[in-house]
Structure 1
């Protein structure tokens, strides 16, 4: 059995060019495999894809329901509190909506939440207990 991994996370978006610009402002790089229907953004450990919200619902054979809390967040973990603040400021400048200003967290770290232009939630966090490998990937213990 192959090792479990997530290769692509796809976000349904209402305005593909706007979302592409938003994520490129964070430093994501669009692949040449992108086209007018989908954008593939290359990350170090996977791909973030942007696809029209209605088209994504149609492809999955689900009804496109009004957007509310989806009980899903995406997280980006920093190596310091200052890095969290820097990422947060960059995202806000690019059009993110602040949900929770970065602050000391009950679990001993530092984190804040924001929403992208389509309301997808991102947590930017510093966890002093996390270790990163030589490639910058989170290295959880076995």
Structure 2
């Protein structure tokens, strides 16, 4: 198996509200099938899909999916100031601040914020993993 994640799909209780939230962060929607909201990212794609639809596709009930699952999505930025700005933008767009930007023991600067459906994002600056020329992240810049 190749080492990659091609598509991350997040369940959304209100697909229109979730779309507006991410658009308020500055993301642009890519054309997709009706009922699916798609954002092309650097090297992968993020999809938003109704919680009911995702549960149906997986053969589960709606109450079996959604919210914080012990997984965070990370968005790395080139500076601490960019972390502060994006964290504030998450909250202004209607998300929930989980932990404000702060220095961490390993020398980085990080924060946590949740989107409208409780999907948690780590918003961070890692000085030991500089971003590539297109903004791509690789551990230790490798």
- Using structure 1 for the length normalisation, give the TM-score: 0.90
Answer yes or no: is the 8 Å Cα contact 2:103–2:110 preserved in 1.
yes
Structure 2 distance, partners of 1:125, 1:140, is 13
Aligned to 1:60: 58
TM superposition shift of 1:10: 0.2
Provide the aligned length of Structure 1 versus Structure 2: 140
**1:8 matches 2:7:** yes
Task: Measure the CA separation in 1 of the matches of 2:5 and 2:36.
Answer: 18
- Structure 1 segments of 4+ aligned residues over 6 angstroms from their partners: none
Q: TM-score, normalised by structure 2?
A: 0.90
Indicate the SS of the match to 2:38: strand
**Aligned pair 1:101/2:100, yes or no?**
yes
2:42 to 41, 44, 48: 44
1:14, 1:51 → 2: CA distance? 9
Deviation at 1:61, TM superposition (A): 1.9
Root mean square deviation of aligned Cα: 1.7
The answer to whether the 8 Å contact 2:51/2:65 transfers is no
For structure 1, the 5+ residue unaligned runs are: none
- Secondary structure of 1:33's counterpart equals coil
